[in-house]
Amino acid sequence: MTTVLVIGGGYAGVMAANRLKSRDDLSVQLINPRPQFVERIRLHQLAADSDPNSTMAVADFGAVLNDGVRLVVDSAERIDPAARRVTLGSGGVLDYDYLVYAVGSTGAIPDAVPGAAEFAYPLSELEQAKRLRARLADVPTQAPIVVVGGGLTGIEAAAEFAEAGRRVTLVSSIVGPSLSAPGRRSVTKRLGKLGVTTVAATVASVTADAVVLTDGRTLPSAVTVWTAGFGVPGLAAASGLTTDAMGRVVTDETLTSVDDDRIVAAGDAAAPSGLPYRMSCQAGLPLGAQAANTVLARIAGGEAAVATVPMSGQCISLGRDAGTVQLQRKDDTPLNLYLGGRTGAFVKEQVCRYTVKWLAGEARKPGSYKSLKGPDRSELIAAAKAVPVR
């Protein structure tokens, strides 16, 4: 029997494992360090302990994973492509015929910012969200909180904390850099209504009770939340696979590793043609399905199709009663159109709910998940190849 290992139980990994079970003659094993599925797009709610839906940040794998997939609760420490073997953190080994690499992304706190790693609280993994929630429970509501980073995670965290009555300052050179100008105005207006102070600056250092800015200002901070930047686990690079500067596996447009046609990558830790999609569940779900399709095509002796992912919007929660949905082109560039207020909050919540529904649907009926066609990336790839390497 052909064995396929999937490393990573996030959006892309679970989707890939489920899709692979469209063939009954495959042994599919999912390696994940936690026994539960984590819905990362709800972690800011979990940290703020602000909504009953935050309990949905963790779900039993039985609700989203096909019954025929074997769950291996362990960490993957090393991949040996030549031997087609994965060494586990427990010391065990698993052999494979094909491997789907879907380890996802992690929060990245730069070593170059003194005190950040020691005193700041990242918010990209379940354990980090729980640690932050425990810290907030020990801090008076009126104590100052500083959120570093104006991306979607930072915006959502700042809004959630402020709506709970906390004093929040959001520090970023720009708030919502991936949004259109109207989208940014919608976000900053709502943050202002919630009482969030926005400071256009960069951070020089972090202490136990303050954030020092590069312009010399000091912001008092009982809790500093760090959302500026993401990274990926170093498993691929440590295993000798070709990666980009961040550590994502470099693949061709079928999501196949440039080093080994038995290794396929999906989600945040994949860089097709060295041009990764924006880190998001919006990309993770279709990439997971397409990674599985590539493996299935190879097993059947056919030709794998080029991956195609439409990036149609960015959904931002701004507390429980408002949100901003940035509409955009399929190539991930924003339009000057957005949905705001309660409508934006409703759409955001439906998106959160449907990510799990889509995974559960694929678990029940492998092959049922459908994604719209994305843009042709050939010109983008050609332009990137034309840039001289220095």
SS3 category, 380: helix
Q: What DSSP designation does 210 have? A: E
Say whether both 20 and 79 belong to one domain: yes
Say whether both 140 and 26 belong to one domain: no
User: What are 76's two structure tokens?
Assistant: 């993957």
Say whether both 95 and 192 belong to one domain: no
Say whether both 179 and 193 belong to one domain: yes
Residue 364 lies in a domain: no
Neighbouring-strand partners of residue 3? 27
Last residue within a domain, chosen from 161, 191, 226:
226
The pTM score is 0.94
Reference 306, options 297, 318, 315; nearest CA is 297
Residue 303 lies in a domain: yes
- How far is CA 384 from its chain centroid? 24
**How confident is the prediction along the chain (390 residues), in pLDDT tens digits per residue?**
999 999 999 999 999 999 999 999 999 999 999 999 999 999 999 999 875 555 668 999 999 999 999 999 999 999 999 999 999 999 999 999 999 999 999 888 888 999 999 999 999 999 999 999 999 999 999 999 999 999 999 999 999 999 999 999 999 999 999 999 999 999 999 999 999 999 999 999 999 999 999 999 999 999 999 999 889 999 999 999 999 999 999 999 999 999 999 999 999 999 999 999 999 999 999 999 999 999 999 999 999 999 989 888 999 999 999 999 999 998 899 999 999 999 999 999 998 999 999 999 999 999 999 988 888 888 788 887 775 544
Last residue within a domain, chosen from 226, 261, 279:
226
- How far is CA 277 from its chain centroid? 11
Length of the chain: 390
Say whether both 281 and 379 belong to one domain: yes
* Alpha helices per DSSP H over the chain: 11-20, 43-48, 116-119, 126-137, 152-163, 181-193, 235-238, 281-299, 341-364, 378-386
Our count of domains for the chain comes to: 2
Task: Note whether 66 and 21 are within 8 A (CB).
Answer: yes
Find the CATH number of the domain harbouring 271. 3.50.50.60
Residue 351 lies in a domain: no
Say whether both 127 and 7 belong to one domain: no
SS3 category, 374: coil
Last residue within a domain, chosen from 180, 196, 226:
226
Tell me the residue range of the domain where 100 lies: 2-33+74-105+232-309+371-386
CA distance readout (Å), 169 to 42, 150, 156, 161 = 21, 11, 13, 10
